[in-house]
Amino acid sequence: MNVDRCWEQYYKTLKLIYLEENKETCQREIDHLVDTAIELKEKTYSNAVLDLGRQFREVCPKARIMWKTSSIAGNFYPPISISDIYSPVIANVFDQTTRLECRRQEYSLRMPLQEEPNFTGIQQHAQVSDCSLVVSLININRYKTTMPVVKQVAENLYATNLYFNGAQRRLVLVSTENIPTMQDDPTKQMSVHSANKINKILELGLLKLTSLSYHSEGSNTAIDTYRLCGWIPDISSINEFNFLKVHKAFSRGECLIAMGTGGFVPKENIFGVKLRKYHDYAVLDIDMINEVVTLRDPLISDTLLTINFDSIRKYFLQVYCNWDSSKLFMFTKDTQIFYSDKKFNPYQTLAGKPTFYLKNNSDRDEYAWVLLEFHLDKNNNTTAYLQEIPDRISTVRLGYNDNSAETGFQLIKIRLKPKQCIWYFCYSSTDKMLTFHTYSTSSDVVFVRSKMPGCDFDVTECAILPENIVPMQYPNHSETDIYYLASIDFSIEGEPGITIITDMVVCLETDDDLVNFQMFHWDDLDFNSPIYDEFYMNERMFEKKDLPLTSGERYRIVASTARPPISKGYQCAVSGINIHADYPCSYKLRESDVRYNSMMFKLPHVFTLASTGITKISLVNRNKYNKVFMRIYPQTQEDYRYNYRVISADTGEDLVKPGNNIQKLYGGIVIKEFLVSDQTNLELHLSFQDNGRVPVELKCQLYVGSVKIITLS
């Protein structure tokens, strides 16, 4: 029996149990492995198969997520330890064969990696743009315990575990067979200079992971160090850097430090070694007495730079720290979510975004850090961040000023008071798997995804239906045509009579739409008395702040646009402050078509109304009992007066009190709910008078709402 084939089938089954949802398929493959183990009679293989059976029985959703986020740019990096590598055939199952790009013509040869046993120190190759990676190698070589373990799998094939995509031990296979080599001098290769071959292998592994090229861009030392050894990345501006505070941690071996320049460096050589633009330097020492920092340029291994604090602040832009979580915290926990751009981002507000709370359940102060990490995949041009939610979420727009939002990592540090709870929202500019790493000094500190409690916030999102688009006017602004967009039933539930200071926003999907909304009391069916009379249109988003609303009351929100909307959906969100905290209240939003008085069955009808007679509309009701509401909207700005009757088509009896000399209000002509019984069919009679001599015809829209179905005759 071919041992390598047995191991290859083992690794295929290992992959299957985490990626295949069909348990029967997985069980058949495991049973086959058991038969193979019995026949092979090899202890290591038998133990591995037994452990695989245990993994299958204990597989959990979190483990599946880790496996399903293993693919990056055609390579598959499973979350398994290098201690689980038993055969080189593992490379056949977990394909990581993509070769690094090299654009240097003088390095056109491809040869196996050569060692440099006599080289002193660690030095970046001049043609490889990975200064941050080499600085990371310089730093972690000073702490041998942080060095990743590298295992040889076969000739010119090595394996290591790196930290990325939410996992602490993703398998990275590194081929050292095809290293760009100088055509004119085969002793020179594009590789970091080091006597330790492990540094060369780690460079290859990280370059393959992040850029698939020897010409990488966009990384920094904090991120590269995290991926190599898992120490928490902390990126800060040089102006925020506290030399004294960090020096204490640095001297205790709790952190690694690097510094990066920006676009401004001195032209002259004033430090013995000329500073380079946009370049990272390893920090080897901080002398608080003389206020100087000792740095190493990764391109020059045999020379140190000594720079005083003032010059550091003048010529350096950022500080990169990496913290040893095992020395700072006792507890860690990871939380994963998939952020859907389609689901969470159609509206540029915080409403509807994923929300989390960080809470200290203990009776004393506790420290907690939360590290957001977005997963590498086919699209890494992503902005992602976690941000504290203000008291009034609905009116706060998206935006984050921290450059770390574009690096794939963001670190939040906080000291939590006893029982303190802080709410956060999450944003990503694209579809992205995100991991939140929580580090804390107590198990009483929790980071949980949850919807915010009711009184603080509520939101509804709905589609815009094409038939909604009917010209209307606002009260006191009848000269301006607007288009009905949507209406929402809004209430504040709780102890009646409590004043809630409320913010409200209606947001559309595109900036090309101009939007407004008005609010009315529930019984104001004519929409003649808006709670505030403020008519103007805003691009995409209209918001009102500090509305003093009352619990126990119901309101109607009517949104409109300046022209037929381009957006296919809208969002309405509210938040507020309960000034009587002893009486909890909650918001409730529900889409409710106010044109039909929120009734279940809706019958729209467009007709023409002439000034020369009475227009009759016949309606069929086949129900023994029904409740009916009507709204008639003549599409005109003229101040005509209207008459209406609703009668039984069978007896001619009036079913509602006739309306005479009625003025069309903002909500049109409203015929309030009335009862219909005994399968009575209806007739609506409508007329108006025009004082002019020329006959006039008006286009009208009829909205009939009912408890049970009604149709046109």
Catalytic residues: 131, 279, 308
- With residues binned 3-state (H G I as helix, E B as strand, rest as coil), the percentages for the chain, rounded to 5, are 20, 40, 40
Owner of token pair 């000594």? 306
Sign of CA dihedral 577, 578, 584, 586: negative
AA letter at 488: I
Judge contact between 502 and 576, C-beta under 8 A. yes
Cβ neighbours of residue 247 closer than 8 Å, sequence gap 6 or more: 286, 288
Choose among 290, 253, 117, 247: nearest CA to 194.
Answer: 117
- Asked if residues 585 and 488 have their Cβ atoms less than 8 Å apart, the reply is no
**C-alpha closest to that of 357 among 389, 380, 329, 330:** 389
Sequence-distant (≥ 6) Cβ neighbours of residue 269 within 8 angstroms? none
Maximum pairwise Cα distance, the chain: 111
Helices 43-58 & 3-19, crossing angle to 10 degrees? 10
CB 678 within 8 A of CB 624: yes
Contact 348, 397 (CB under 8 A): yes
Instruction: Produce one character per residue of 623-644: b if its CB has 16 or more CB atoms within 10 Å, e if not.
Output: beebebbbbbbbbbeeebebbb
- Pick the closest to residue 555 from 528, 521, 584 (CA basis): 521
Beta carbons of 527 and 558 less than 8 angstroms apart: yes
Beta strands in 398-440 (DSSP E): 409-416, 421-428, 432-440
DSSP H helical ranges for 263-409: 309-315, 325-328, 341-344
Alpha-carbon distance of 492 to 394, in angstroms, equals 16
CA neighbours within 13 Å on the CB side: how many for 573? 23
What type of residue is 500?
Answer: I
Angle at CA 710, nearest 5°, toward 708 and 713?
165
**Coil/strand/helix, residue 438:** strand
Closest CA to 260 of 320, 203, 301: 320
CA-CA distance, 621 to 712, in Å (whole number)?
9
In DSSP notation, 650-665 reads TT--BSS--EEEEEPB
Residue 80 and residue 18 in contact, taking contact as beta carbons nearer than 8 Å: no
Q: Give CA separation, 289 vs 243, 244, 286, in Å.
A: 11, 10, 9
Single out the residue of 355, 387, 385, 359 nearest to residue 452, CA to CA: 355
Structure tokens, 619: 């309606």
| Residue 156 near residue 172 (C-beta atoms within 8 A) | no
Is residue 496 helix, strand or coil?
Answer: coil
What whole-number distance in Å separates Cα of residue 187 and Cα of residue 223? 32
Single-letter residue type at 5: R
Q: What is the per-residue DSSP string for 229-272? A: H-PEEEEEEGGG--HHHHHHHHHTTSEEEEEEE-S---SS--SS
If DSSP codes are grouped into helix, strand and coil, which group holds residue 412? strand
Q: What's the CA dihedral at 396, 402, 406, 410 to 10 degrees? A: -100
